[in-house]
Structure 1
């Protein structure tokens, strides 16, 4: 390793890193370039990216189609306020999302981050009932879930998940329960929801995979049971597809595997191909109609400054082009099969609790998480970027990764855990 560049040495003492104890953390790696599935460090070393920049870079880095779309938009108009004005990329994106989502999910609120899109969905759910004359104030959420780091979203994460436990006493009090995984569980959940329905605005869940809570999987039946219970109790269903959306679990949306229509769905990450902050909360027509009134107090009073920024929407439209032009379901099916075959031997390592795969998500869960910090530099030494958390080592590679590069990632995990 050579000396760090001046921008690193001059600036690193002024940053505040996410999810990091700054006093004891290993210094961050200086990145100078990205391309395809590779990250180039300032000293010239290349790392194959195993986590797609927190699951967002579905098409890899610097995809020429997305880059060209952004350059063209940048020359015309990177941003204009969305209050009283609209722009072509945002309207085209809204129409395309409405066309690809199931049922009457056709009203699109475009924001700039995943957490904000969840906040918007929660706010919509509360006001939906306020506008109907009902003062419902709570949400039902599940153990093991994560929906964001803002105050509202922290209040629907698992309080024992770890990251937000410190704030448990000051967050809004919602109803925490277990995801139903059997028909008997589903019946108990339906009774629980009906009992509390008068005070519940919505149930919120991650579909098929609870991501940051530990990459915990569940079946499509769980989503159908939630939909049935919400319908029976007259409660809304919010599905957070920020991680799972756009083929990560094998289908365009995870809810496609259950055949349900949520009342609201949140999207981000791969929506823009991982190149621009962007998110969307998409609501059903019935939700929108509760706000559509002569009474100005029934309007949704929410508007991020960079809402529907044209540059990000241009990136998202280009990202959707790529999803439509190529068979991403087939790509993910191939990745899934390779992950299953090449991660399975990890199950024989001494500290491994389980190995599981769903779509383009591969997880090796450990019995003892205390050694995870020591593993991180070992992956870098092997030329890969893999960032374990909690008690898991996981892969969520770009969906365009080839077999050889994916084998380097899985081989690094086998080598490091075997050693």
Structure 2
């Protein structure tokens, strides 16, 4: 990056979760191919983050690029109000075929946070159509569902991302997060907090929302599948819609196409995003049951009151179709399984390091929970100097590599992480 560009970026461009007065330096990426990001200085670094969960097949994938080029020759965008098009129809067919039979109505949008907002609005409008003005949502602590207002209101109120807005957000209900981890024995006491809240407030709750199995940046916790089964049983007993946020975990990241498959449960509303297009362009989807869609459609307005401008964007739908076509070859199952085995082998020994509290691995997700805060500026520089892109937060170092990563490339990622723990200066 030239001095003038670097100055302009720091002075005028606001990056995610960053300060304008004291920004962490940014690295200029000029191109990307496979698992590599090419920096302005010519250095190639391995992307261990899949651009925040999304680039599952790597960068510049020829089939995804081909789908984009083919579609853009026809049209890049057209409004979805009163108009439909082949790419959207094909995508919705594919989404319905990938998900449980119960989920047969698809609402497309343009980002994960918006998909969550739509799910919450669906739940509220569902109850309004039934003559009940329910507005409370029940979830668990340590969750994260996005940065828009309703999404923040169902994310952990003590989460450092959102606590400054706490007094401005709608008040919702939070149960204790389950303690039984994915690989531990189930402890039935985990459900007590949730059960007490739903029993006391069932007549006021519009919906229950969870990140299935894997809680994202709220703490990167992996909880026991039995917890989801217990939650579904309670939601069915009290006839409360169950919403699953699979925006981060959907499309194979955990080793299943969708994380809820580990518990053999089915939500009433399902939110998808991030890797839906293979990380090429923004798109999201909210799927629901025919029952909920029909009840909403019979309300006073006779329609669902939401309509993003870029809803059903043809370019995004076309590349999402190509992405799902790649997934349908099932090569991802072998890739993710190999990543998981390698992460277990290379990262598990860190549990004995004095700075490490826990090491968690599931599918193509590896998490190291540290006992000390991480010096973001220094560790980011350390990772880039050693040829990898890993972006920790708070006390967590985690990687989400593209499924296509080779074992040699994955070894480089993990070896650099191991090397980081030899440097006390990288921790506060």
TM range (shorter): over 0.9
Corresponding residue number in structure 1 for 2:308: 304
Q: Equivalent of 1:382, from 386, 390, 397?
A: 386
Q: CA deviation at 1:330?
A: 1.7
Separation in 2, partners of 1:203, 1:291: 18
Separation in 1, partners of 2:300, 2:92: 24
1:240-282 Cα distance to aligned partner (Å, 9 max, x none): 0000101110000001111111000100011010011100000
Corresponding residue number in structure 2 for 1:252: 257
Whether the 8 Å contact between 1:345 and 1:414 is mirrored in structure 2 is: no
TM-score for both structures, normalised by structure 2: 0.94
Whether the 8 Å contact between 1:179 and 1:222 is mirrored in structure 2 is: no
Separation in 1, partners of 2:374, 2:320: 39
Q: Equivalent of 2:205, from 183, 200, 203?
A: 200
Corresponding residue number in structure 2 for 1:163: 161
Give SS of 2:328's match. Answer: helix
Q: CA deviation at 1:187?
A: 4.7
Corresponding residue number in structure 2 for 1:148: 146
Corresponding residue number in structure 2 for 1:407: 411
Give SS of 1:65's match. Answer: helix
1:85-123 Cα distance to aligned partner (Å, 9 max, x none): 011111110111011101310111110000000000000
Whether the 8 Å contact between 1:372 and 1:391 is mirrored in structure 2 is: no
Corresponding residue number in structure 2 for 1:360: 364
Separation in 2, partners of 1:25, 1:214: 24
Separation in 2, partners of 1:63, 1:217: 30
Separation in 2, partners of 1:321, 1:389: 34
Written as runs of structure 1 = structure 2, the 5 A alignment for 1:326-365 is: 326-365=330-369
Whether the 8 Å contact between 2:10 and 2:23 is mirrored in structure 1 is: no
1:170-226 Cα distance to aligned partner (Å, 9 max, x none): 100100111344323325523421220111011110011111112111011111111
Q: CA deviation at 1:350?
A: 2.5
Q: CA deviation at 1:347?
A: 2.1
1:183 maps onto 2:188 in alignment? yes
TM-score for both structures, normalised by structure 1: 0.96
Q: CA deviation at 1:390?
A: 1.5
Q: CA deviation at 1:418?
A: 2.4
Q: 1:204 to 1:340 in 2, by over 3 A?
A: same
1:327-352 Cα distance to aligned partner (Å, 9 max, x none): 21121111001001101222233311
1:371 maps onto 2:371 in alignment? no
Q: CA deviation at 1:372?
A: 4.2
1:224 maps onto 2:217 in alignment? no
Written as runs of structure 1 = structure 2, the 5 A alignment for 1:248-287 is: 248-287=253-292
Give SS of 1:266's match. Answer: strand
Whether the 8 Å contact between 2:175 and 2:197 is mirrored in structure 1 is: no
Give SS of 1:418's match. Answer: coil
Corresponding residue number in structure 1 for 2:35: 37
Whether the 8 Å contact between 2:91 and 2:320 is mirrored in structure 1 is: yes
Q: 1:373 to 1:8 in 2, by over 3 A?
A: closer
Give SS of 1:252's match. Answer: coil
Q: Equivalent of 2:93, from 87, 92, 95?
A: 95
- The worse-fitting range, judged by mean Cα deviation, of 16-25 and 399-408 is 16-25
Separation in 2, partners of 1:418, 1:24: 27
1:318 maps onto 2:316 in alignment? no
Whether the 8 Å contact between 1:214 and 1:390 is mirrored in structure 2 is: no
Separation in 2, partners of 1:75, 1:396: 33
Corresponding residue number in structure 1 for 2:67: 69
Q: CA deviation at 1:322?
A: 0.6
Whether the 8 Å contact between 2:139 and 2:174 is mirrored in structure 1 is: yes
Separation in 1, partners of 2:92, 2:118: 16
Separation in 1, partners of 2:102, 2:270: 12
Separation in 1, partners of 2:296, 2:351: 52
> Any gaps of 5 or more consecutive residues in structure 2?
181-186, 424-428
Give SS of 2:168's match. Answer: coil
Whether the 8 Å contact between 2:374 and 2:394 is mirrored in structure 1 is: no
Give SS of 2:297's match. Answer: coil
Whether the 8 Å contact between 2:27 and 2:39 is mirrored in structure 1 is: yes
> Any gaps of 5 or more consecutive residues in structure 1?
none
Corresponding residue number in structure 2 for 1:397: 401
Whether the 8 Å contact between 2:252 and 2:258 is mirrored in structure 1 is: yes
| CA RMSD across the alignment | 1.4
